[in-house]
């Protein structure tokens, strides 16, 4: 079952209108970037209060930082936004993570609603209450756990996305199947990217993630299985973030899943045949990213800053087999570098 605060709808304006009618919010603010202001805000604007506040930020992971948070807090402060107000985060994962973080810390916390507008945000960031921002180049280094009052998901927003963004979100769909559902893995890899049933994928991913988060909200154990591909993937994403060719989150996680499949052969019980099957499918969808040889050391170093690590030991989530993940598996820096070299030499 989806989390109690997640609603998957085909009528986003009606759902939002009902939510606003049932609550006595003193003020309403909507956080947007330049893309969601143009393409997504018109889908809900008619049900917003006439005096709502439009809070604006720039798109992109590179802007998910304290400086942007200060800008958002300043906009709310200038509007005398009080603790009975509601912040609606209209956008992808960056808006949801950062907007929720700003809401949870502004005046010790105001209510917020997330309306995820990308596939990535709908299948992943929509569930679990993880909020955060990047710090000194480390992804989601500052943050907290806080559930939104409601998450409203409508697949019609996907029509506003370029194919690259859909592909990025598909990485998390793949991950959810790999860690929890062999049958679904076989199903989704039998269909071309352009024909994928996105609403079905959203429901499946929300169901998988909701079940895991319900068992372990603060990521003390089981929830760590959701991090498959993310130790290496986050390091790759952080490394490329300020380069001339930054990667979308899902593009980096695709690299991470291939690399961590190799680690799974070495440190868990994934078969080489399953790893090759995973690798072939991901490469067919995402292609291969050129990683310069002199970047491997820096990426490996970034993996040492992963939040799952303990006492200087890198801890990975790996696969025992497709459909079954294991977590807190110690791996060496040299093994991560070798996995990256394997990907680089494909």
- Give the pLDDT confidence of 199-209 residue by residue, as tens digits: 999 999 999 99
Please write the tens of the pLDDT for every residue from 298-315: 999 999 988 888 888 999
Whether 223 sits among the annotated catalytic residues: the reply is yes
Which position among 61, 147, 165, 172 bears the catalytic label? Answer: 172
Q: What is the mean pLDDT of residues 324-337?
A: 97
- Evaluate if residue 261 carries a pLDDT over 70: yes
- Evaluate if residue 177 carries a pLDDT over 90: yes
Whether 107 sits among the annotated catalytic residues: the reply is no
- Evaluate if residue 1 carries a pLDDT over 90: no
Which position among 114, 201, 249, 274 bears the catalytic label? Answer: 249
Q: Report the C-alpha gap between 88 and 29 in whole angstroms.
A: 6
Please write the tens of the pLDDT for every residue from 220-229: 999 999 999 9
Which position among 64, 175, 204, 209 bears the catalytic label? Answer: 209
* Confidence grade of residue 97 (pLDDT, cut at 50, 70, 90): very high
Fold of 6-159: Rossmann fold (3.40.50)
- Sign of the C-alpha dihedral, residues 295, 296, 298, 299? positive
**What pLDDT is stored for residue 10 in this prediction?**
94
Contact 252, 259 (CB under 8 A): no
Which position among 61, 147, 165, 219 bears the catalytic label? Answer: 219
**What pLDDT is stored for residue 125 in this prediction?**
83
**What is the CATH architecture assignment of 163-344?**
Up-down Bundle (1.20)
Whether 189 sits among the annotated catalytic residues: the reply is no
Whether 203 sits among the annotated catalytic residues: the reply is no
Which position among 207, 223, 224, 239 bears the catalytic label? Answer: 223
Q: Report the C-alpha gap between 329 and 263 in whole angstroms.
A: 10
Whether 307 sits among the annotated catalytic residues: the reply is no
Q: Report the C-alpha gap between 55 and 31 in whole angstroms.
A: 5
Whether 176 sits among the annotated catalytic residues: the reply is no
Predicted TM-score of the model (pTM): 0.93
Please state, rounded to an integer, the average pLDDT across all residues of the chain: 95
Q: What is the mean pLDDT of residues 269-291?
A: 97
Query: In 186-299, at which residue ranges do the beta strands (DSSP E only) sit?
Result: none
Please write the tens of the pLDDT for every residue from 105-126: 999 999 999 999 999 999 998 8
**What pLDDT is stored for residue 2 in this prediction?**
61
- Rg of the chain (C-alpha set): 20
Which position among 24, 108, 136, 195 bears the catalytic label? Answer: 108
Please give the full DSSP string across 228-290, using - where no structure is assigned. Answer: TTHHHHHHHHHHHTTSSSPPPHHHHHHHHHHHHHHHHHHHS---HHHHHHHHHHHHHHH----
Which position among 201, 204, 224, 230 bears the catalytic label? Answer: 230
The torsion angles phi and psi of 284, rounded to 5 degrees, stand at -65, -35
Which position among 35, 61, 89, 130 bears the catalytic label? Answer: 130
Whether 288 sits among the annotated catalytic residues: the reply is no
Q: Report the C-alpha gap between 129 and 214 in whole angstroms.
A: 11
* Confidence grade of residue 140 (pLDDT, cut at 50, 70, 90): very high
DSSP secondary-structure letter at 310? Answer: B
Q: What is the mean pLDDT of residues 53-57?
A: 97
Whether 5 sits among the annotated catalytic residues: the reply is no
Which position among 35, 89, 114, 227 bears the catalytic label? Answer: 227
Whether 141 sits among the annotated catalytic residues: the reply is no
Domain-by-domain residue ranges, the chain? 6-159, 163-344
**What pLDDT is stored for residue 242 in this prediction?**
79
């Amino acid at each position: 079952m989806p989390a109690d605060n997640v609603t998957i709808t085909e009528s986003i304006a009606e759902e939002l209108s009902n939510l606003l009618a049932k609550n006595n919010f003193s003020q309403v603010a909507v956080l947007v970037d330049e893309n969601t202001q143009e393409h997504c805000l018109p889908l809900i604007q008619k049900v917003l209060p006439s005096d709502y506040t439009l809070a604006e930020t720039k798109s992109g992971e590179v802007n998910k930082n304290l400086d942007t948070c200060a800008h958002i807090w300043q906009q709310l402060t200038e509007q005398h936004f009080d603790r009975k107000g509601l912040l609606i985060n209209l956008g992808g994962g960056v808006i949801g993570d950062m907007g929720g973080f700003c809401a949870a810390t502004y005046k010790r916390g105001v209510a917020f609603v997330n309306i995820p507008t990308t596939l990535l945000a709908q299948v992943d960031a929509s569930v679990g209450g993880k909020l955060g921002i990047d710090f000194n180049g480390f992804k989601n280094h500052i943050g907290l756990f806080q559930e939104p009052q409601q998450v409203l998901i409508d697949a019609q927003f996907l029509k506003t996305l370029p194919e690259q963004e859909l592909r990025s979100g598909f990485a998390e769909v793949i991950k959810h199947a790999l860690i929890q559902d062999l049958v679904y893995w076989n199903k989704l890899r039998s269909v071309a990217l352009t024909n994928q049933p996105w609403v079905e994928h959203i429901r499946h991913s929300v169901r998988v993630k909701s079940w895991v988060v319900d068992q372990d909200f603060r990521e003390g154990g089981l929830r760590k299985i959701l991090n498959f591909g993310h130790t290496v993937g986050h390091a790759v994403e952080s490394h490329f973030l300020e380069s001339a060719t930054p990667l979308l989150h899902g593009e980096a996680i695709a690299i991470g899943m291939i690399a961590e499949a190799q680690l799974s052969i070495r440190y868990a019980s994934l078969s080489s045949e399953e790893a090759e099957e995973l690798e072939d499918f991901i490469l067919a969808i995402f292609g291969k990213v050129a990683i310069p040889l002199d970047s491997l050391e820096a990426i490996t170093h970034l993996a040492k800053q992963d939040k799952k690590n303990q006492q200087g030991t890198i801890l990975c989530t790996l696969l025992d087999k497709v459909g079954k993940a294991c977590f807190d598996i110690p791996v060496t820096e040299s093994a991560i570098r070798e996995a990256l070299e394997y990907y680089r030499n494909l």
